[in-house]
Amino acid sequence: MLCSSETTLTVLIYSLCLFFLPQTFDKILIANRGEIACRVMKTCKKMGIQTVAVHSDVDSSAVHVKMADEAVCVGPAPTNKSYLNMEAILEAIRHTGAQAVHPGYGFLSENKEFAKRLVADGVTFIGPDTHAIQAMGDKIESKLIAKAAKVNTIPGFDGVVKVGYPVMIKASAGGGGKGMRIAWNDEETREGFRFSSQEAASSFGDDRLLIEKYIDNPRHIEIQVLADKHGNALWLNERECSIQRRNQKVVEEAPSTFLDPDTRRAMGEQAVQLAKAVKYSSAGTVEFLVDSKKNFYFLEMNTRLQVEHPITECITGLDLVEQMIRVAKGYRLQHEQKDIPINGWAIESRVYAEDPYKSFGLPSIGRLSQYQEPLNLSNVRVDSGIEEGSDISIYYDPMISKLVTFGSTRAEALARMEDALDSYVIRGVTHNIPLLREIITHPRFISGDISTNFLPEVYPDGFKGHQLDVESRRELLAAAVALYITSQLRSQKILGDLRVSSAPMESSCWELCVELGEGQHHVHVIKSGNVYTVEADGGKVEVCGQWNLASTLLPITVNGADRMLQCLSREASGTLVLQYMGTLVAEGQEICVIEAMKMQNSLTAAKPAKVKSVHCKAGETVGEGDLLVELE
C-alpha cells in the first residue's frame, strides 16, 4: 500500500506523462464490439482518452461494455438493428459528446456514408477520408486505380483480357472472404454468381460482382501501410496470410518466409504508390497474391485496421491504433521508412468457436463455462473480448480471440504458439484449437511450404484431428493411465484417512485394460512417488507430474519431454476425455442453403433419393444437430 506522499508522487508523474503526450481527443466512441473494441480501448486508456462503448441488448454485460467509461445501447441483437444502426450510433455520439469515432473492422468501418455523416456532424472519423474509402471499397474501381498507379494487377478484371478457367468471382464491395467463389467451369460460374451475389447483398447491401483470372496455388501476402494527411506514407513490412478456409484467414505470421528483401521492397513501394494515389491517410492494408515465381498481383485494399494487425505491432514496435488516432488529429508521421524494423517473428492464430471437423470450421454457439487464456507464458498476447460466462451467440462472428506469440526467431515463435495452444482452456463451446495446433506443427508449415490451398491439400478428406502414430498412442495411453490411477487413489482417501478402515494399503503396481478408440490395450503400471512407468504396446513410457486434479491444466513430462494435459471430463465409470497434443433429388443436387455468419453453405444430396419431409422454413433459425430435410 502506498503512503500519502508516494500516492501524490505517483499522481504527479502520471499527470506529467499525460501532459507530454500529444493532445488528440478527450473522448472516443468505438463503433464496434468484442475483441477489437477492447483492443482500441486499451490504447485509448494509455493515451488518457475516455471511451464510449456501443452495444446491443444481448451485449449489455460484454467485456467491451465493462471496459468503457460510458456505454450506450443502440438496439436489439441483429446487427442491422444495432451495430449497423447508423442513426442509433450517431445519436449515441451526440448524447455522449464523443469527439471522434474509431470503427474497428467490419460493421461500419468501410462505410463511406457513415464517415461522411460524421464529418457533417463535426465528429472525426478515425480512418481515411470518404474518397479513399469509396475508391478502394469498390473492387472494380480500386483495380483501375491500381493499374493507373503502376501497381501489378490480375488479368481480366477490366474486361480487356480474355481469360480461361479457373476464374474468381468476387463481390465488388466485399471483404473478409464473403461473396467470393472459385469457378472451374460454366456450371460453377452460374452457381458462384448466385451465391456470391446473395452473400454480397446480405453482407454489404451491394450485389455487384467482378470476375478475374484465378491465380492457382498462390500465397496471400499483404503489406501494412500507414499514411498521414501531409502526403507522407510508409510500408510496415508484410504479413503472410496464406492459411485460409473459405477465403478467410486462420493463421498469419510476420514476416513471410517466402519474401526476399528485393520483393519485399517492391511490394511495399507499390503499396505506398497506391495509398498516395488515393490520398490515403490512416492505417490500411494492401493485399497481394504471390505466385511461386514471386510475381505479385494487387488483390484489394482494406481501408481500416486489419484483424491481424498485432503481428505487425510485434515486429515493428508500433501501436497502430495510436498511430491512427494521431493521424486523425492531423499529426505528421513520427517515423521515416528507414526507421521501420523487422525485429523477430510473430504468429497469430485465430481462435474461433467453430467445429473444425466440419468444413474446417462451422460456427458453434454456447456459453463459456470455463475460460483461461495462456497469459502466464512469456511473449504471448491474447486480444479477446470475452470472459468466463460469456455467450457465443448466433448473431455475431464466432471469434473467441486472436492468440499471438512472438520470438526472436520463427522457431521460437512457433514453439511458444504450441505451448500457448496447449495451455488455452476453453469449455462450453466447440473450438478450433485442435486444427490450429495441427497446422503450426505440420512439417509443410514449419518448412514454409504453404499456399492458400494448404488446408485442402493437407486434409483432402477434411480435418480428422490428430492422427496418432505408435509412439504418440503409447504416450497418450500412459498419460491417461497415470491420470486415472491418480484419480482412483485420491478417491480412496478422505482427509488423509482411508475411507474404509479394512481397505488394503495403497498399491504401487497395476494391470489395466484401456480402450482407446475401437482398440483395447493391456498395460502394466508401476508407481514410484509422482512417477509412473507404463509398459504398453511393446514399449515403456515414463510419466511424471504433480497431478493436481483440481487444476484445469496438468503439466507433465512424458519420457523427459514437457507436455500439457487437459482433462475435459472424468466419469465414475473410468471414462476420460483428454486434450492431448489436441422432391426427387439426384446425387450432388442442392437441397437447401444455410446462412451462417453471413456465409452461404449449400447442402447437397450424397446419393440419389426422394425427399420424404422438410422440417424447416425459409428464414428460420436452426441449431446444430437439427433435422432439416429427410431423404429416402
In angstroms, what CA-CA distances link 214 with 40, 152, 169?
Answer: 36, 15, 9
User: Rounded to whole angstroms, how far apart are CA atoms 401 and 310?
Assistant: 12
* H or E stretch at 18: helix 4-20
Q: Which of 527, 426, 568, 541 is nearest to 479 (CA)?
A: 541
* 239 counts as catalytic: no
Cα–Cα dist 617/626, whole Å: 13
3-state secondary structure of 67: helix
User: Which residue spans within 370-518 are E strands per DSSP?
Assistant: 370-372, 380-384, 391-392, 399-407, 425-427, 493-494, 497-498, 509-516
Catalytic residue of the set 33, 245, 304, 350: 304
Question: In this structure, what DSSP letter does residue 48 have?
Answer: T
Of 368, 543, 353, which is closest to residue 436 (Cα–Cα)?
353
d(CA 414, CA 396): 30
* C-alpha torsion sign, points 313, 318, 322, 326: negative
How far is 499 from 512, CA to CA, in rounded Å? 23
Q: Residue 371 to residues 2, 54, 322, 367, 425: CA-CA distances in angstroms?
A: 33, 24, 29, 10, 5
Provide the strand spans (E) within 228-322: 233-245, 248-254, 282-290, 296-302
- 601 Rama class: left (phi>0) / alpha (psi -120 to 50) / beta: beta
**How far apart are the C-alpha atoms of 143 and 211, rounded to whole Å?**
12
- Sequence-distant (≥ 6) Cβ neighbours of residue 146 within 8 angstroms: 153, 274, 277, 298
Question: How many angstroms separate the CA atoms of 391 and 572, rounded?
Answer: 29
d(CA 258, CA 254): 11
Name which of 177, 184, 251, 622 is nearest 432 in CA terms: 251
Alpha-carbon span 81 to 83, nearest angstrom = 7
- 598-602, long-range: CB < 8 A, 24+ apart: 598/178, 598/199, 598/202, 598/203, 599/177, 599/178, 599/199, 599/246, 600/195, 600/198, 600/199, 600/202, 601/359, 601/362, 602/191, 602/195
d(CA 47, CA 18) in angstroms, rounded, equals: 7
CB of 354 closer than 8 Å to CB of 330? no
Residue type, 626: D
Catalytically annotated residues: 304
